């Protein structure tokens, strides 16, 4: 099925370790983004991209890096994991660099940092 694929679904990291959360979409969407969901906080935007080679920061970018070398992929890197990064991470994509609607979300990656 076409959509947004996130891997892995679950991950446990030790403090200070690094890892990359993968996100891929096969809908030829220009816009891709990463959100984190925490209890009582809703979903907060980490980073987003309006096309290959273009990325920008969202509301909570500290501790995370992104790159967009292809239209399909938008990986999220944690360089040195901290317990505060324990969360559920969602990748979302949308057709059109500038738009209000049409977001498709992945099923999420649950990350625990111990």
Partner 1 sequence: DQQVKQNSPSLSVQEGRISILNCDYTNSMFDYFLWYKKYPAEGPTFLISISSIKDKNEDGRFTVFLNKSAKHLSLHIVPSQPGDSAVYFCAASSIYNQGGKLIFGQGTELSVKP
Binding segment for partner 1 among 17-25, 32-40, 64-72, 73-81 (CB under 8 A)? 32-40
d(CA 53, CA 42): 28
Rounded least distance, CB 66 to partner 1, Å:
14
Let me know if 73 is exposed, middle or buried by CB neighbors in 10 A (0-12, 13-18, 19+). Answer: middle
Q: How far is the CB of 47 from partner 1 (least distance, A)?
A: 11
CA distance 27 to 20: 22
Name residue, tokens 């990656």.
Answer: 109
Task: Report the site for partner 1 in 1-30 (rule: CB under 8 A).
Answer: 4
Tell whether residue 64 is a contact of partner 1 (CB under 8 A).
no
Give the burial class of 4: count Cβ atoms within 10 A of its Cβ; 0-12 exposed, 13-18 middle, 19 or more buried. Answer: buried
Taking the complex as a whole, how short is the minimal distance between the CB of residue 2 and partner 1, in angstroms?
A: 14
Chain residues that interact with partner 1, rule: CB under 8 A: 4, 31, 33, 35, 40-45, 48, 50, 56, 58, 90, 92, 94, 97-101, 103, 105-108
């Amino acid at each position: 099925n076409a959509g947004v694929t996130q891997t892995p679904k679950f991950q446990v990291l030790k403090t200070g370790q690094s890892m990359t959360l993968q996100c891929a979409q096969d809908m030829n969407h220009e816009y891709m983004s990463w959100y984190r969901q925490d209890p009582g906080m809703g979903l907060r935007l980490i980073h987003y991209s309006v096309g290959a080679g273009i990325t920008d920061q969202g509301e909570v970018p500290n501790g995370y890096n992104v790159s967009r070398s292809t239209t399909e992929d938008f990986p999220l890197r944690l360089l040195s994991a901290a317990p505060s990064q324990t969360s559920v991470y969602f990748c979302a994509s949308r057709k059109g660099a500038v738009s209000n609607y049409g977001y498709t979300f992945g099923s999420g990656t649950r990350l625990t940092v111990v």
